[in-house]
């Protein structure tokens, strides 16, 4: 019989198995993306696939270390871990190496570390620590929302204290992709009782912003007024909350006419990405539209079963930029086809669903909250990375978990996941 004192006692084997499958498949795709017949030896550390193999072995060592550490360590040192990584993200602004217009890397020789990748699990730990003793309440009226906002002030304080500082730093660093990842923690707050009206309000602003850039403000304003009257006369059928709806309509119209001003304040490359996504104006497929166009060609050319491993022409001849990092899914689509793409997507979402299932069985609020943080971050990364490769979302430059090339990425996602695996293995304990 296996001893309960074993470091590996109680770990969820299915989660570990999915992790291993994703890592192996990811390395195979990195190898295919940078394959060179002159350098085909898999242990050649002068090549990216050789370096990735070393980083994967390092990730396995990190996973074992995490499983050996007592679960109480992650609760006791949640705040110090967050503080250290926040300081690292501040320091990198001043002493980091600038790469592609962003100063977000510490670099010593050929070794580079991106601290922003590691802060994600630190925020998860800190939020779990802070929120584990909070009780959130729902509300459905204006008065109730205001009351709920006050009742939930600790939650908003947590967001302000743990997420907003890093959000500001990433925006100043021109790292909007990593900044947007932090919005995934809204899912955690929703699970813990955050009023859904706040989330719907956020989605509403995004929808209005997008439509305002695509259509005439006059048409959108008239449409909003029409929807307002239809809702008031045929659905609501009373004027009890007329003031609230009039204020909502007024805010919406202000947002419609202010969207172009917000758009003009974006950086040039950010406006270009929005133009490519929304089809605004004439997009030059040899310049600003090149990445997405080549990505879609690569994925579409794979057909049902793909061209075969190491047989992708778009991949082999490097038509797709960043094909081993941000656009790694293009290699999957071209060489493994639709079927292979579905398998990769299914594995990622099976992992996410498994994490949520495990989170719900935790006795400790801390472990449950952290589990949802892990699931939220993975969900955001998978959805956005694949969405931008398919041309459905703007290109914001975030890696596909366990697939994309890079030591910081594979190590950070491994630490993120295995901390939860360790917490789940200790689920009979009440961690605070």
pLDDT tens series, the chain, 432 aa = 345 556 777 899 999 999 999 999 999 999 998 887 777 677 788 788 899 999 999 999 999 999 999 999 999 999 899 989 988 888 887 787 766 666 677 777 667 788 888 989 999 998 898 888 665 444 444 444 445 555 556 566 666 666 677 666 666 666 666 777 778 888 888 888 777 777 787 788 888 888 887 788 888 888 888 888 887 777 666 666 677 778 878 888 888 888 877 777 777 766 776 776 666 655 666 666 787 888 888 898 889 999 999 888 887 777 888 788 889 999 999 999 999 999 999 999 999 999 999 999 998 999 999 999 999 999 999 999 999 899 888 888 789 999 999 889 999 999 999 999 999 998 877 666
- The burial class, CB within 10 Å (0-12 / 13-18 / 19+), for 261 is exposed
Q: With H, G, I as helix, E, B as strand and everything else as coil, classify residue 233.
A: helix
Name the phi and psi angles at 252, rounded to 5.
-65, -40
CA angle, 283 as apex, 280 and 284 as ends, to 5°? Answer: 165
Name the phi and psi angles at 97, rounded to 5.
-90, 135
Taking the C-alpha atoms of residue 92 and residue 115, their distance in angstroms, rounded to an integer, is 8
């Amino acid at each position: 019989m296996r001893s309960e004192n074993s470091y590996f006692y109680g770990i969820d084997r299915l989660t570990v198995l999915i992790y291993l499958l994703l890592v192996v498949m990811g390395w195979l795709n990195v190898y295919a993306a940078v394959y060179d017949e002159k350098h085909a030896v898999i242990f050649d550390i002068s090549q990216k696939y050789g370096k990735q193999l070393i980083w994967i072995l390092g990730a396995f060592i990190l996973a074992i270390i995490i499983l050996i550490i007592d679960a109480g360590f992650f609760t006791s040192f949640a705040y110090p871990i967050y503080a250290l990584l926040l300081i690292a993200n501040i320091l990198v602004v001043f002493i980091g190496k600038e790469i592609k217009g962003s100063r977000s890397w510490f670099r010593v020789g050929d070794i580079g570390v991106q601290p922003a990748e590691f802060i994600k699990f630190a925020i998860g730990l800190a939020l779990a620590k802070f929120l584990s003793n909070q009780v959130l309440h729902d509300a459905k009226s204006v008065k109730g929302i205001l009351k709920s906002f006050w009742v939930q002030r600790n939650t908003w304080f947590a967001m302000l204290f743990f997420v907003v500082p890093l959000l500001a730093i990433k925006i100043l660093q021109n790292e909007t992709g990593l900044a947007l990842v932090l919005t995934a923690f809204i899912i955690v707050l929703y699970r813990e009782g955050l009023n859904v009206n706040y989330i719907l309000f956020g989605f509403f602003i995004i929808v209005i912003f997008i439509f305002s850039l695509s259509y005439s403000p006059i048409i959108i304003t008239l449409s909003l007024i029409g929807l307002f009257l239809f809702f008031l006369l045929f659905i609501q059928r009373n004027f009890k909350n007329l003031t609230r709806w009039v204020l909502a309509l007024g805010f919406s119209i202000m947002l419609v006419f202010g969207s172009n001003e917000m758009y003009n304040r974006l950086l040039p490359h950010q406006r270009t990405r929005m133009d490519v996504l929304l089809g605004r104006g004439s997009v030059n497929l040899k310049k600003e539209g090149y990445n997405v166009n080549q990505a879609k060609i690569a994925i579409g050319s794979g057909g049902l079963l793909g061209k075969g491993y190491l047989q992708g022409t778009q991949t082999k001849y490097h038509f797709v930029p960043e094909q081993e990092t941000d656009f790694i899914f293009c290699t999957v689509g071209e060489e493994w086809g639709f079927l292979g793409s579905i398998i990769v997507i299914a594995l990622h979402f099976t992992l996410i669903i498994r994490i949520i299932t495990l989170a719900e069985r935790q006795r400790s609020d801390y472990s449950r909250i952290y589990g949802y943080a892990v699931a939220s971050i993975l969900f955001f990364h998978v959805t956005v990375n694949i969405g931008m490769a398919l041309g459905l979302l703007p290109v914001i430059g975030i890696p596909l978990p366990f697939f994309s090339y890079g030591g910081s990425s594979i190590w950070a996602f491994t630490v993120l996941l295995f901390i939860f695996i360790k917490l789940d293995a200790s689920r009979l304990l009440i961690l605070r």
